[in-house]
Amino acid sequence: MYYVVTGAAGFIGSNLVRALNERGETDIIAVDNLTRADKFLNLAGCEIADYIDKRDFVVQLTDGDFDDAIEAVLHQGACSDTMETDGRYMMENNYRYSLALLDYCQEEDVPFLYASSAAVYGGGPVFRESREFEAPLNVYGYSKFLFDQVVRRRFPAAESQIAGFRYFNVYGRNEAHKGRMASVAFHCFNQFQSEKRVKLFQGWDGYADGQQLRDFVSVEDVVAVNLHFLERPDLSGIFNLGTGRCQSFNEVAVATINTCLKAGGQPALTLEEMRAKGMIEYIPFPDALKGKYQSHTEADISRLRGAGYENALLTVEEGVSRYCEHLLKQGR
């Protein structure tokens, strides 16, 4: 029996493959689109049974090639570019593709764990898994929102597990290929390594310089939650996957810079000291993001806790420091 991971060469998908390997699982079918070939590096250290292109995989499912051969599907494949303006591409890639996999898993009684997004909430102040709080600001958020609505309608008659995770701001290893869509921590680290300073947005939308707030969650925690549900196929629902706390972009920058300073044998600095030394620079807030940007996110994780997930979730200070230490060891 195979575990199927879609988006397997991507950020979260490759971390899930590695975590399955650490549990002794190697019968893994990695599904992705390697049009951007450099993503293969994320899988180079993993053990898989087969790699299948996304388009071929859907055809093979339809043809019955994997009937009675799949243990579970961990669906991470999606276009995650919140600035993408091709709505047709976004809906085909994120909505229709997900729907095809959901239909198959329900027909074959296969657990289906999938990636949703905090983007479904848009600019609202409440981040709870309920329809009245959902108002996406871009077509990416809408593609995730629409699929979640289908899932909700399916729950009453579902024959097997369906678990959706609304990822908040995920950061961690294997995200280099994401370019501009990589995490704030990744960009802060690379800017500091090359320029000895970090660039953050100036204040906007009522927030001071660098004080926009996000629920930053480590990919380590994202993987742990997915495995928690994989081990409990009786658990279904749509769940926020964040830390339940919001922290500022300034805090991410401070954690990043201090980890780099520590690696060089230098003492830690405060935010004010970093500003005075020119280590943090504030740049104008882009006009293209105004009205399409979440200045504050903070997951309500009561439903996740109610599903029995009791592990502590890493703070920015803990998780970003660990991530930067990893990047330093990799020579990034």
Residue 178 designated active-site: yes
For the chain, how far is it from start to end, CA to CA, in angstroms?
37
Q: 73, 95, 90, 230: which is closest to 151 by C-alpha?
A: 95
Residue 277 designated active-site: no
Take residue 88 and report the two structure tokens written for it. 């047709």
Take residue 110 and report the two structure tokens written for it. 């296969």
- Burial category of 195 from C-beta neighbours within 10 Å (exposed 0-12, middle 13-18, buried 19 and up): exposed
Ranges of H-type helices in the chain:
11-22, 54-62, 87-90, 97-108, 139-154, 184-195, 219-230, 249-263, 271-276, 302-306, 316-330
The Cα 293–Cα 138 span in angstroms is 9
DSSP-based three-state secondary structure for 70 = strand
Q: Which residues pair with 3 in a beta bridge?
A: 28, 72
Q: Which residue has the tokens 């995770």?
A: 165
Catalytic-labelled residue, pool 3, 97, 140, 323 = 140
Catalytic-labelled residue, pool 2, 54, 89, 178 = 178
Residue numbers annotated as active site: 140, 178
